Structure 1
Amino acid sequence: MNGEELRRYAGLDREGRKLLQLAFETLGLSAHAYNRIVKVARTIADLAGAEQSRSRPPMWRKPIRYRALDRGVVG
């Protein structure tokens, strides 16, 4: 997915933006990490049968945790 497709199919609601912003400030993530988190969250939402236009915050928590584990932040 390119940037436009990410915005269209994996958009964030207000609560999701806050959650992702907090994760970026805490973990020091890059733009590439953002795209990876968005793609994983969209995949989780698809598997859960969520609507296409917006992903709810619970869909964002897992990929953020996965990224934290990858960076060695969460033990």
Structure 2
Amino acid sequence: MSVAELKRQAKKLGPAETIHLAAYLKHLSRRRDPAYLARLDETWNAMAAGDRLTLAQYRKISDGLRKSGV
């Protein structure tokens, strides 16, 4: 499929599908970037060491995103 065909198909997507597609394409564009992979490792290690959100914090963030349409 060509880039032009992908663009035509993307125009047909709804808002939620567009956000998911954008996130996926961003992931593909940086999945081999050493700096990005290092940041992911740092984040993983911080979480493994206990740096996490509480359920209440997660819900507050999630509710805010939902209300903003994301």
Q: Same fold (TM over 0.5)?
A: no
Structure with the larger RCO, 1 or 2 (CA within 8 Å, 6+ apart):
1
* TM-score interval, normalised by the smaller of the two chains: 0.3 to 0.5
What is the TM-score of this pair, normalised by structure 1? 0.32
- Whichever structure has more strand as a proportion of its residues is 1
Q: Which of the two has higher C-alpha Rg?
A: 2
- Whichever structure has more helix as a proportion of its residues is 2
